[in-house]
Structure formats: structure tokens, C-alpha cells
Structure 1
């Protein structure tokens, strides 16, 4: 294609050809986003099936399921700094193409995993590909829309998350009704093929004319620190003992490595994570809000699959349909959140959104084995509305507080904290769920052979699996298992709600008031970005 060099006077700095098809480009970018988010939302419905013994599933334990989720998110988060810089340096279009290809390859490998260990490894490959996709798509968006259109474009971009949340669970349930568990990963392949063709033909390339240098030591320190910390948290929940030497060593070691990472980043002339961004209150508060939202929501999404399928007895498809209100509310409200921000300001909107999420999470503490379905869906709807009114204004705050030519780095930081928050949410809240469940069920495992009691107490699926093998004698375990899980869910939900309340306090105190929302670091509307967009490729 020819290079676009004539700028539309109405949109200074954006080549005319790019400006004319900016909404089509946004649609293509959303397709890539859908691919990445759908995978995680499908997995949330499939985790119970994957935990079933072969040939139905892989016989994965709860800790292995947590690692199947976190292998993706930790690799994703750990590499975002570097791949954001690579996109800025070598071209964001190339970054998306590489990421989509790797994601598709990892999906095929994951679909044919022969063990939980293989699934964890291939999920890491998918995370490697996803890390290239997410920051580059948002950076391209910031370079094809002028500042006055960016909130609307980001709102639509964020709607992609809601669409994926709506499509993923229902699609995953439908696939599991008719095919084996690996089909939930193979469904990514046609999306990958369409995305590759659309990106190649329609998306312009862009890059930073003065890209930063890479920081391999910083990347390595961040990955090692997070892996140690998450391992210690998950292992502590598995053992129901966070004082065990191996658990303490991993947690303390992880914190120490992350502390070294921070010191290294402060002293490094080309840090993977530019800590200077956090001097901007809008940037810091928005990033914290995103991280805390995903900490709370990812942990709850993890245990809700077991509640709906193991305790309530819904099929995977039925469980996927139950979750639709969470997604539908985001689909409707995300594009409109900017209107609330224009009227009330980002601080008020994000604070109320956080409190709505906290209220929804606390609602889980009222659920039992017979809670009416409409109550569950109402709670999920409230959570979705709250999330829609956090993600759009928070993402706008982050991206408009970042210089346009550094959009890849700003997007990487935003997505890194989102993924780290989600990974820690699954680890911390999953471990809290596991430890509380074990303490509630251990006294009821008298009929279980002594050598199987530890495994039976790890999760409700493990208990029900042992009960099934015991035949009629095991039926007496079903009621206590359900009761122990519901109690553990209540404790975990209240913990997640407390995190959301803390997030509301952070936003209310540190996010700037409406008259101070325009960040000094953001570029003015008329800025010439010809150096950022290098024409159509």
C-alpha cells in the first residue's frame, strides 16, 4: 500500500487515509482483543471439566488449575514491559502479527495436552503471544485517533472485554456439551486466521521515533519475583499452612526479588518499568484501580465456576449462560461510561464503580445451595455495571497521561498491572478458598481411606471424586462438601469485597478531581504525530 502523507485538516497529525478508516482499524484491533480475552473466559467454564479424571479431563488438582490460569497471566505480565518496547521500536503492527501467531500456536498445543503439566506449559506459550497483542493494539488505537475521540474509542475498545466475557462462557459451555475439553482452545484458531488477514490488510504500522533500550535484567527479576510469590501463595493454600518453611521461603524470596527489581528500575537508565510515570496521580490511581478490580474479579470468577457446576449442578453451558449478565452489562455500559465521566468526573465514577463491585462481591456471601437464579444474575449484573465504569475511565487516565509516542509503554504498564492483579487474585483468593474449604471438610472425611484424605480435602471436586469412588458410602460426603465450599466461598467473597472497598478509597483519595483531569504529560489535540505513524504498511 502507498504511504499516507496528507493529513486531514480536521484531524491534524493523522494521515488522511488512516483517519478515514480509523473505526475499521478499531474493529480489527477489537478482534485481536476478543481472541485473547475469550480464551480466559472460556477456561473459567472449562476448569471443572479439566479437573475431571481422564478421559473426560486431565485430572488437574485445584493448584494445577490455578497454575493453568496463572502460567498465562504471569508470562503475559512479565513480558509486557519488553514487548511494549519492542512494538515501539520495531513497529506495533509487527508486534500484533507475531503475538497473534504465537497465541494460535499455543492454542493448538494446549488443546492436545496430555497432562496438566503440559497444559500449564502451553498456556505459558499463549501468554507469550498475548503479551505482544495487548499493548500494541491499545498503542495503535492511540495513534489513529485524535485526543478528543480517544475516550470514545477506548470505551468501545473496552467493550471488547464485555463482548468476550459474553461470548466466552456460553461458547465454552456449548463446545463442552458436544466435544472434548480441548475444543475450548481450538476455537481460537479460526479467530487467529481472520485476525491475521485483517491486520495485514487494514492496520497501519506505528512506532516510537526514539524508542527506549531493552532491560533484560529487569524483565527477569520481575518474572522470577512474581513466580516465587504466586507459588508460595498457591502452595500455602494447598497445604492450608502459610507458615510452612517452603511456603515462607517462596513468599519472602518473591518479595525480596521484587524489591530488588524496584531498586534496579530506579537506578537503570533504560528501565523496563519507567517508575517516573507514577509521579502523575491520575496515572497511579488509575493503574491501582485496574489492578485491584482484576484482583477481586478474577478470584471470584475462579470459584464461581465450582459453585455453579459442582454445588448447584449446572452444566458447563448453563453455567456459561448464567454469567451473561456480567458481560451484557459491560457490553451496554462501557461505551457510555465516558458520558458519566464528562458529567461527574473520573474520580466520582470510578469510586462508585468500585463500590458497586464491592457490593456485588459481598452478595456472594449471601448465596447458598438454593439461592434463586435471578438473585445470582442480579449480583453479576451489578458487578458488570461497576466494572464498566472503572475500566473505561481508568484506561483513558492511563493512556492520556502517557506521551503519545510512548503509547506502547503506557499500554504495557496498564495491562501488566491488570494481569498481575488478576494473577494475585486467583492465587490469594484461590488459596483462601482452598484453606477455608480444607478446614471445613477435614473433620467429615472419616469414611475416606487415610492415604486419600489429604487429596480429598484440597477442593470440592477432589472430595466429590473420592465420594464417587466410594459408592453408596460416599454419598454422605456430598452434603458436607457443599456446605464446606459455600462457607469457604462466603469467606473468600468478603475478602474480595474488602479489596474492592480499598480500591474505592484509593480512587477517591488519589484520582484527580474533574478540574484537574487533563494530565500535563498528554499531548494536545493539534500535536503532529507524523513521526509516530510511519504510513501504511
Structure 2
């Protein structure tokens, strides 16, 4: 008999494959900006094309696993992910790369929910399942921090396309591991209800329009008709989606689950944690290269403590949640993340990595470890075994939606501050219009402009670019502080262990099958 723990290892390898791609491109963004002539909006789309499609199709991916078998869909997703990675690697234009990243998101949405559903189906003992879910959650957090390190090493030796070529051998390893170690559960062949096509389309359109509007907000103007109508349209479509899910006999996203406040709070805290994390990684990798002057590898290595802290503290967080309850641990995590982002508010041009930046990352990583595992366990405990695929997709969707909006919102706050600030300050320096326009495209474009200017003027332009970027970074991280504090307050109220809630979960589980 195959060991359950070997199966867990294989599933974590598959999880790593798709989660690393969330952040591996971040250290390559400055290089892509130069070689593909991409501004900040283009860079956001390189990141968000993946996470947006990933998030939009996760519900469908989990539902397909319930219908056709999670192992079968996992294998299909891994093969497709490797194939589309080749397309991303050979892209020659910004549009081609964004399209390929969206294609990767399609297959990631098939892989990711299958990993958690197979873990839930493989580990029947509650204690073993809690430990396995903790390992899965830790892997997710570690993968996000490993991405910049791996990407930095690849860029130090190869072109930016290497961050996609690496998926081919990695995908082959994941495929072999799954085929050898993960048996197909007997429940994989159980028939499931009709597929909710309208629900999938509404979720994709609503989330897509929301993210597109937020990313394009700085360019279009936050008070413009385009932005306001985009936001209104997104909320209307998502509202119709919720109404449809409540009325349909076989919803793809069972919104009734959110009637249980513990489930809703846990999902919300996971979303907020990944909102803050993805947004921060997007910003900090540019800070390392543009302001501190690190190479891609040096920038990536400096995110490594994040992965180490998540790996070490995730099992500790699960043990603490078992001892003190998930409420205490998750609220502590949200406060730790808020503290980490508060330290970023103190960063300026003279700040050193070991003097300040690393400690902010340690606090954020500790917070993520305390939120991810315990809240995932709360989510999965609210589900029946028959809901494993759809339920794990709900859990996964909260992560990806949070991460997608994190890059969109924090990136757009930075862009708004940077574009306005750099234009005004370069005008005051007497910088010609064409040069000023070039510097406005992105912080790395500003660095390139300063490098090409005469010595004295170049140094002045670089100082302006760095200072304005830091102003934008401070404003963006202030948003992250706020959402983390709100998450802590809501979690403290909603995750309290009330006996009535336990009855509510059991009653729902009986009626939802």
C-alpha cells in the first residue's frame, strides 16, 4: 500500500509547481519592463493575468475534479501547465506573454484544488488530516517566497524566459511523483450534479472586470466614468452571481457556506493575508532592485527569510491552534502582519536590509503562518466529504482572489502616487517633457532614464525616482496595515468558539448534501 505521507509529498510538489508561478516573475519584472517596453500597468497584468484566471476558474476546477476525478484532473492540469509554459517562454511581445500567463492560470486552477481535495480524501483521521492540511498550507506560503529566489537565480544566469522554461522539468517531476504516489480515491467515480455554466461565466466576468478596473484606475482616473462604471458593473455582475448561486439547485460556489460566520471569517482572513502578501511581494522586489540597487538574484535571496519563517512556524501554528483554538492564533497572525507592514512605513532611502526590512518580513511571515493553516482547517471542517473538491476550491479561491486584488490595489496605489509625484518633481528640476514621460512609465524606467542622463542630472533624477517610489510604497503598505487590522477585529469576533456555531455547521452539513 502506498504511504499516505508519500502521497502528501507528491501533492505538495504539484502545489509548488503552480504556487511558485505566482511570484517567480516578480524579480523578472524590471527586466521585462525594459525588454518588452512595459509600464507599471503592463507589469501588473503580467502578474495578474495568471492570478486572475487562476482565481476565476478555481471553482470550476474543483467542480471538474468532483465530476471527473481529482487525480485525473490533477494529471491533466500538470501536463497542460508544462505545455503552456513553453508558450510563455517563447513570447516576444507583452501581449503574447500576458496571454500565456492567462493560459497558465487555466491549468493552475485545475491543479490547485485537486491537491487539497486529495489530501482531505486520503487522510481520514482528524489529527493526521490537520497535520497534512498544515503541511499543505505551509507549502503554499513557502512557495510564494521561494519564487523570487528561484527567479533571481535564473535571471542571474539566463534570460527572463527561463522563469517559464523551469516549469517543464519541474512539471515532469510533479507528474511522475503524482502517478507513482497518489492513488485514485474510490470516490473519484461518484457522479455529481449538473455543471453550473452560468455561475462560472458570471464569476469570471465579475472578477475580471473588477481587477481590470482597479489595475487601469491610475491611468483612466479614479473619478473617471470608465473607472466608476467598471466598478459598478463588476459589483452588479458579482451580485447577480450570488443571487444565481442561491437559487440554482446545483451551485458551483455554495454561498450558503458563508452563512456560517466561522467559515466566512476564516475564508476572509485567508483572503486578506494573501491580499497583503502578494501586493507586498510585487512592491518589495521592485524596491530591492530600483531603490537598493540589488541584482535579481540578490533581491530574490532577500525574500528567503520569509520562506524559512513560514516553514518553521506553520506546524507550530497548527499545534497552537489545536491547543488554544484557531481564533487566538489567527488573530495574532493578523496583528503580526499589520505590525510587519507598519515597519515598512518607516523605510526610507537610508534604510538597510538587516536594520529594518528583514524584521518586517519576519513579522509578515509569522502572521501568514498563523493564519493560513488554522483558517484552512476551519474551512475544511465545515464541509462534508462530498464537498471536498468544491470546498477546497472555495478555500483556494479566497487565496487567489485576495492575491490578485492585492497586486491590483497596492500596485495601483503605488502607481497613482508615483506617476503624479515623479512628474511634478522632475518638472521642478527642469527635466524635458519626453524624458519626464519616459520616467513616468515605471520605477525601473525612471532608473533607466537616470542612468542615461549626464552625471549630475542623472543622480538628481535617481533620487527623485527613489523618493517618489518610497512615498508610493508607504501609501500602499498603509492600505495593507488597515486591511490586516480590520481582519484581526473581525476574526476576533467571528471565530469565537460558540456552541451554537458547531451545531450550525453540523446542521448545514446534513442539509447541504
TM-score by length of 2: 0.94
Give the 3-state SS of the residue equivalent to 1:326 in structure 2: helix
Q: Which of the residues 192, 195, 203 maps onto 1:222?
A: 203
Distance 2:142 2:371 in 1: 16
Q: Which of the residues 116, 135, 159 maps onto 2:94?
A: 116
Counterpart of 2:277? Answer: 297
Asked if 1:510 is matched to 2:494, the reply is: yes
Counterpart of 1:282? Answer: 262
Q: Which residues in structure 2 correspond to 1:98-117 (within 5 Å)?
A: 98-117=76-95
Counterpart of 1:45? Answer: 27
Counterpart of 1:323? Answer: 303
Distance 1:522 1:31 in 2: 33
Q: Which of the residues 77, 81, 93 maps onto 2:71?
A: 93
Distance 2:383 2:366 in 1: 27
Asked if 1:487 is matched to 2:500, the reply is: no
Structure 1 unmatched runs, 5+: 1-16, 524-537
Q: CA deviation at 1:383?
A: 0.9
Q: Which residues in structure 2 correspond to 1:125-524 (within 5 Å)?
A: 125-146=103-124, 147-206=126-185, 207=188, 209-239=190-220, 241-374=221-354, 375-446=356-427, 447-451=430-434, 453-472=436-455, 473-513=457-497, 521=505
Q: Once structures 1 and 2 are overlaid, which stretch shifts more, 268-277 or 24-33?
A: 268-277
Q: CA deviation at 1:515?
A: 6.3
Counterpart of 1:531? Answer: none
Rate the CA distance shift 1:391–1:514 in 2: closer, same or farther, 3 A. farther
Rate the CA distance shift 1:298–1:162 in 2: closer, same or farther, 3 A. closer
- Render the CA deviation track for 1:260-297: whole Å, top value 9, x for unaligned: 11121122122221111112222111100111111111
User: Quick check: 1:99–1:132 contact (8 Å CA) kept in 2?
Assistant: yes
Counterpart of 1:529? Answer: none
Give the 3-state SS of the residue equivalent to 1:366 in structure 2: coil
Distance 2:189 2:431 in 1: 62
User: Quick check: 2:52–2:211 contact (8 Å CA) kept in 1?
Assistant: no
RMSD (Å), alpha carbons: 2.0
Structure 2 unmatched runs, 5+: 508-513
User: Quick check: 1:38–1:165 contact (8 Å CA) kept in 2?
Assistant: yes
User: Quick check: 2:260–2:501 contact (8 Å CA) kept in 1?
Assistant: no
Distance 1:167 1:66 in 2: 20
Give the 3-state SS of the residue equivalent to 2:25 in structure 1: helix
Distance 2:79 2:445 in 1: 36
Distance 1:427 1:59 in 2: 20
Q: Which runs of 4+ in 1 moved over 4 A?
A: 514-523
Distance 1:161 1:416 in 2: 13
Q: Once structures 1 and 2 are overlaid, which stretch shifts more, 453-462 or 378-387?
A: 453-462
Counterpart of 2:511? Answer: none
